Amino acid sequence: MGNLAEQSASASGGLSLPARFARALQKHWELYLLFLPIVAWYAIFCYAPMGGIVIAFKDFKVLRGIWASDWVGMKNFSRFISSPAFRSTFANTIIISLMNLAFAFPAPIIFALLLNEIRSLIGKRFVQTVSYLPHFISWTIAGSLFYMMLSPSTGIVNYIVRFFGGSPVNFLGEGRYFRWILVISSVWKGLGWGAIVYLAAIAGVDEELYEAATIDGAKRFRRIWSITIPSISNVVVVMLILQVGTILNSNFEQIFIMANATVLSVGETIEYYIYRVGLSSTNNFSLAAAVGLFKSVVGFALILITNAISKRVSDGGGIW
């Protein structure tokens, strides 16, 4: 152990951590300068507002301020958990997130695998460009597009239904269709952009593995199954852990734009509930903060659990 410590110290020049950081900062100051806006953004918009978490444990009154408001302890948490809205919003969030996990998560992986098999460079770039475009469309516009396509009177989908002798369906007004519309629109909007990570991982696979497999007589599907997928499995595991960690984070913008009063029973998620009780109707900021903190703690716990399971199952694979 002593020899290892001496080797480590000699490799770093015997410098302390602050000294090594100062040396790296002096040597690569341009890169740190480029990284500075990202640090500032997280510090200002992510970490600084965390001081407001304290209102989750208070009966916050705007006129009295945060610190002058009365402490109520865990009252806001128990109020949410014991309310009828907890069961419905929690169930809706889990169901929608699991549906996205089952369909929207593997879709970019499959798309990246298929896109990698396109031999025409022009065709590959065209498909990539077309698939990336929906990511840059805001949910306001995307939701409007789905409203127009699914309209019972003028939508192209109901036009096809009527053409085949069916009756028009108000897809966005019926709960049995609403969750599937959320999943389909999520896949459409995030398919191309989500595939970027997997395409980058596939690009790092050694070409000699494919050449050796081809010489051994492996067909295209066999090469994908035996070489490509195992080579990107670590990336898939990391993305899966992050996805599970955000299982209580539904896409608020998507639901806010596409939901209506007739589908709230199946479409109101925890984030939409936070908006409704915190900003829209009751202005109960303390309850909204408590629900948000509850959601974040559960998400963090899910990351820890999923990471521990993945390390056991995939022999050391995980985030850390």
pLDDT in tens, 236-268: 988 888 888 888 887 888 999 998 888 988 988
pLDDT at 275: 87
Mean pLDDT value across the chain? 85
Q: Is the pLDDT of residue 120 over 60?
A: yes
Q: How much is the average pLDDT of 285-314?
A: 84
**Rounded Cα distance, 123 and 165, in Å:** 38
pLDDT band at 68 (very low <50, low <70, confident <90, very high): confident
On whether the 74-141+175-313 domain is CATH 1.10.3720.10, my answer is yes
pLDDT band at 113 (very low <50, low <70, confident <90, very high): very high
Which residues on neighbouring strands pair with residue 61, listed in sequence order? Answer: 65
Q: Is the separation of the CB atoms in 255 and 267 below 8 Å?
A: yes
Q: Is the pLDDT of residue 306 over 90?
A: no
pLDDT band at 14 (very low <50, low <70, confident <90, very high): low
**Rounded Cα distance, 150 and 255, in Å:** 16
Which residues on neighbouring strands pair with residue 246, listed in sequence order? Answer: none
pLDDT at 1: 42
pLDDT at 314: 66
Residue 276 burial by CB count (10 A; 0-12/13-18/19+): exposed, middle or buried?
A: middle
pLDDT band at 60 (very low <50, low <70, confident <90, very high): confident
pLDDT band at 142 (very low <50, low <70, confident <90, very high): very high
Decide the pairing of beta strands 65-71 and 58-61.
Answer: antiparallel
pLDDT at 319: 64
| Tens-place pLDDT, residues 25-56 | 888 888 889 989 999 999 999 888 888 888 88
pLDDT at 260: 86
Q: Please indicate whether residue 7 or residue 32 has the higher confidence score (pLDDT).
A: 32
Cα distances from 232 to residues 31, 219, 220, 253, in angstroms, run 28, 19, 17, 31
55: enclosing H helix or E strand: none
Q: Is the pLDDT of residue 8 over 60?
A: no
pLDDT at 186: 93
pLDDT at 315: 62
Identity of the amino acid at 117:
E
Best CA proximity match to 85, nearest among 259, 271, 249: 271
Q: Please indicate whether residue 307 or residue 158 has the higher confidence score (pLDDT).
A: 158
| Tens-place pLDDT, residues 145-156 | 999 999 988 889
**Rounded Cα distance, 82 and 63, in Å:** 28
Name the token pair of 218: 């492996």
Which residues on neighbouring strands pair with residue 70, listed in sequence order? Answer: 59
